[in-house]
Amino acid sequence: MASETQPTGARGGLFGAGGRFKGGTDPIMEKFNESLSFDKRMWDQDLRGSIAYAKAICKAGIITEAERDQLVEGLGKVREEWASGTFVEKPGDEDIHTANERRLTEIIGATGGKLHTGRSRNDQVATDTRLWTVEAERDLLKDMSTLLEAGAQVAQEHIGVLMAGYTHLQPAQPIRYSHWLCSHLTPIVRDAQRLKELIPRANMCPLGSGALAGNAFGVDREFLCQELGFDGVTPNSLDAVCDRDFVVEFLMWSTLLLTHLSQFAEDVIITNMLKGVDIDDAYATGSSLMPQKKNPDALELLRGKAGIALGRAVGMTATLKGLPRAYNKDLQEDKVPLFEAVDTVKDCLAIATGVICTMKPNPEMLMKALCPEMLATDLADYLVRKGVPFRETHHISGACVRLSEEQKVSIDTLTLKQLQEIDARFEEDVLAVWDYEVSVERKSSTGGTSKATVLKQTEDILAFAKKL
């Protein structure tokens, strides 16, 4: 009986009709299944992995040295096309791996078909993604170094500026503007520390794991590891092809970093609203209706990015939670959130750095936000230094605050006589308490808001940044 003629579709060089499949794929399935539109960002990592693999299978005796050289030379030509923007994508290029192999075979002929011996796209994509992620993480550390250096230098420049510190958005105690700025740089230091800790776990070589069971040709995985600059090899081939912990870790890390940048943005938005800082025009926009408006859009967008980042991390974790061993196509969904997260973090770091470098504190308005009631703790501390237990002095100072409120006067205008009527241990030198500069300089323990301790914080941040 004559066989039926089957429709042929673009399955690419790997899955053309005549092999496992009789006919072509539904065009909708082709679009649904392809990943070249986004994973071509890994073209360089894919080619580097293939060059290393060509050398490894030659070392294992699978191909000759002449074939190895032919493969390496051909892959170099493919790289030149990508680098110059002349690489031509064709129907059937399902992903970056098939596109590169197809083009390699066009350039060097049938020898190109030997490159994939013992290799699967499962270990290939895991290798590409790890290489790309580690490079991106190292690049982001440089951006974080720039932000931290710039922020610390700005803090040093404005070390003499005082401002109100808040808890619960209520006036609390006087602090230095530089201390406040360092309070936002310090979490970024922790974020950089965490990012550095992610790299060794991501920088493990899965190449040579095959589809799931390992490599059948005795490929030297330690050689591949060294060729590609990994720190070590993955210990289990089943796990190696489906492990995306390093992607989730980065997404979660990006969520925390962007949360910290969001908190910084919110603080600056509020301080800008109170005229305590002026945001540079480069990071503000106007209104289509109201001519007077200068909106802190850069900061609002920084604030908004954190929520989207959290969605990426939760979404990818949810994708992984029900997957059986080993590789499943669901894992293709790791690239878009990963790429978006890296792009977003890079942009946000650049914007935050620009905002910090260009915004100007307004010392007069920042001082205006200070109020004598913020020195109520200093009033309590005054009596502590005279031997009175703090819990008692807390109540005494509170009574002074209440008296000033009842009389509708500022607490610093209470007379010595009025203070002594509350507690006889107040003496004439108590009037020196009402000095904001003295108050901040008393906070001289490590991490405090005195000039010396804040300058130490900036020096530590600069030293850390220079090592990133």
Q: Using the structure block, give the residue that is written with the tokens 């500069």.
A: 437
E-assigned strand segments in 234-347:
277-278
Q: CA–CA separation, 279 vs 411, rounded Å?
A: 34
CB 233 within 8 A of CB 221: yes
Catalytic-role residue among 120, 178, 262, 287: 287
287 is catalytic: yes
Close Cβ partners of 26 (under 8 Å, ≥ 6 residues apart): 9
| Paired tokens of 187 | 């979490």
Q: Are 390 and 384 in contact (CB under 8 A)?
A: yes
Contacts of 464 (CB under 8 A, 6+ apart): 148, 189, 192
Distance CA 295, CA 312 (A): 28
Name the 3-class secondary structure at 208: coil
- What residues have CB less than 8 Å from 190, skipping those under 6 apart? none
Annotate 329-346 with DSSP letters as a single string.
Answer: GGGGGGHHHHHHHHHHHH
Task: Please tell me the distance from the alpha carbon of residue 383 to that of residue 291, in angstroms, as a whole number.
Answer: 54
Q: Which helix (H) or strand (E) holds 71?
A: helix 65-84
3-class DSSP state of 228:
helix
C-alpha 41: how far from its chain's center? Answer: 19
Contacts of 216 (CB under 8 A, 6+ apart): 118, 210
Q: Which of 84, 168, 288, 445 is catalytic?
A: 168
What burial class does residue 130 get, using C-beta atoms within 10 Å of its C-beta: 0-12 exposed, 13-18 middle, 19+ buried? buried
Residues 6 or more apart in contact with residue 140 via CB below 8 angstroms = 195, 342, 345, 346, 349
Residues marked as catalytic: 168, 287
